[in-house]
């Protein structure tokens, strides 16, 4: 149900950079100009800066740099029936919050975004650095009711869709490092953590978590992270519109999920993999269960497992693990 702030934002964003008259907004909402002024104050406190002139009305000068629910909802172009979004200041982990809300019966799909996480998690039990610094901490919850074996390539498929969205939105060239890293020239800008609860041979709850460095200066992070991490704004050289990008990402993720569930993704998967995979033909090491396996990447199997050819020509498949690139010796595929 759109609130007055949604209606006002939709008008201002649609007409940006032009003016929208206070009188027109008042008529549209059936309220007084004073009421419009009060709604504008609420939007200002969320981070909007407006130009206001008695004769012309309002126009947007600056947009919030941190998550704002009405801004995201107003700019969402894909909205499945029943979809909802919650933005919180702080939570332990948006994946955990989404999982708790699924457990409490909240209708799926829904998205949870936090300005900061106190216990942000990455794969393999790692900490995900989650200050309130202009980066995105997003989880989207689904109830797929699919057999677990259908989910093998899910994280890769979603990562590829995130890469393509970023490439189109920000005119950048991301790469996907199997299984879940979004990189720019070897530096990590994002990661995906997919978690599922399985019930009687079907996936009951699925939480897709995305951490994406959007506007943080990596120089403000702990040194080890600062050297390996990068944010989109460092790549583009200018801050990005956080809420517009977040709305575009959520839309793409919702569409990609639906295609995956419908089984309508294999051809696009192959095309996207060809474009964004950064490991093809590379010599790498996979760390899995405490063992290190070195070989040349030979592709993926149907379930998204990585195929690695060792020096004796044997090919092994890895469903999980941590990949490191061996000293940049690129081998033929
Ligand atoms: C990784 O690269 O290991 C995955 C990182 C995933 C981080 C995101 S941030 C939003 C969601 N909440 C979490 O606690 N983790 C994911």
pLDDT tens figures, 14-60 = 999 999 999 999 999 999 999 999 999 999 999 999 999 999 999 99
**Ranges of residues in the chain whose predicted pLDDT is under 50:** 329-333
pLDDT at 9: 98
Q: Is 52 left (phi over 0), alpha (psi -120 to 50) or beta?
A: beta
What is the structure's pLDDT at 99? 98
The residue written with tokens 């993704």 in the block is 265
Per-residue pLDDT, 139: 98
CA-to-CA distance for 120 and 90, rounded, in angstroms?
Answer: 11
Q: In the CATH scheme, what architecture does the domain 283-329 have? A: Roll (2.30)
pLDDT the model gives residue 329 = 46
Atom of ligand 1 nearest to the CA of 138: 10
**Residue 135, ligand 1, Cβ within 6 A:** no
- pLDDT of 330: 41
C-alpha distances out from residue 214 to 67, 72, 85, Å: 12, 15, 20
Quick check: CB of 209 below 6 Å from ligand 1? yes
**pLDDT number for residue 252:** 98
For ligand 1, atom 3, name the residue with the nearest CA: 122
- The reply to whether CATH 3.30.930.10 applies to domain 69-276 is yes
What DSSP letter does each residue of 236-294 carry, written as one string? HSS---HHHHHHHHHHHHHHHHHHHHHT--HHHHHHHHHHHBS-TTEEEEEEETTEEEE
116 lines ligand 1 (CB under 6 A): no
Q: What is the dihedral of CA 231, 284, 161, 246, to 10 degrees?
A: -20
Our answer on whether the CB atom of 128 is closer than 6 Å to any ligand 1 atom is: yes
Atom in ligand 1 nearest the alpha carbon of residue 119: 14
Bridge-based pairing of strands 84-91 and 110-117 is parallel
- The ranges assigned to domains in the chain are 4-62, 69-276, 283-329
The encoded tokens of residue 16 equal: 């940006």
pLDDT in tens, 63-83: 999 999 999 999 999 998 899
Phi, psi of 170 (to 5 degrees): -110, 5
Q: 4-62 is classed in which CATH architecture?
A: Orthogonal Bundle (1.10)
Position 224 scores a pLDDT of 62
Ligand 1 mean position, distance from CA 18 (Å):
38
Give CA–CA dist 47/67, Å, rounded. Answer: 10
Contact 254, 208 (CB under 8 A): no
| Ligand 1 atom, smallest distance to 190 CA | 2
């Amino acid at each position: 149900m759109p609130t007055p702030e949604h209606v006002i934002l939709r008008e201002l964003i649609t007409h940006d950079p032009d003016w929208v008259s206070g009188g027109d907004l008042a008529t549209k909402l059936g309220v007084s100009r004073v009421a419009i002024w009060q709604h504008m104050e609420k939007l200002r406190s969320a981070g909007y800066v407006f130009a206001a002139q008695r004769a012309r009305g309002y126009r947007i000068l600056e947009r919030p740099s941190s998550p704002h629910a009405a801004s995201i909802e107003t700019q969402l172009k894909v909205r499945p029936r029943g979809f909802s979004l919650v933005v919180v200041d702080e939570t332990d982990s948006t994946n955990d919050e989404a999982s708790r809300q699924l457990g409490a019966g909240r209708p799926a799909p829904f998205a949870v975004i936090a300005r900061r996480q106190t216990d942000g998690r990455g794969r393999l039990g790692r900490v995900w650095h989650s200050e309130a610094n202009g980066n995105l901490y997003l989880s989207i919850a689904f109830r797929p009711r699919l057999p677990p074996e259908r989910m093998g390539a899910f994280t890769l498929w979603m990562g590829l869709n995130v890469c393509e969205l970023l490439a189109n939105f920000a005119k950048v060239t991301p790469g996907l490092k199997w299984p879940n890293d979004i990189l720019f020239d070897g530096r990590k800008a994002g990661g995906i953590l997919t978690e599922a609860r399985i019930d009687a041979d079907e996936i009951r709850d699925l939480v897709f978590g995305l951490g994406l460095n959007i506007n943080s200066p990596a120089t403000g992070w702990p040194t080890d992270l600062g050297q390996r991490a990068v944010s989109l704004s460092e790549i583009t050289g200018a801050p990005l519109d956080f809420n517009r990008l977040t709305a575009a990402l959520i839309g793409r993720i919702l569409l990609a999920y639906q295609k995956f569930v419908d089984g309508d993704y294999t051809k696009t998967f192959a095309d996207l993999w060809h474009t964004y995979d950064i490991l093809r033909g590379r010599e790498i090491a996979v760390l899995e269960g405490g063992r290190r396996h070195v070989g040349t990447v030979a592709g993926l199997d149907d379930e998204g497992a990585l195929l690695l050819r060792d020096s004796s020509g044997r090919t092994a498949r890895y469903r999980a693990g941590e990949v490191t690139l061996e000293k940049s010796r690129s081998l033929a595929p």
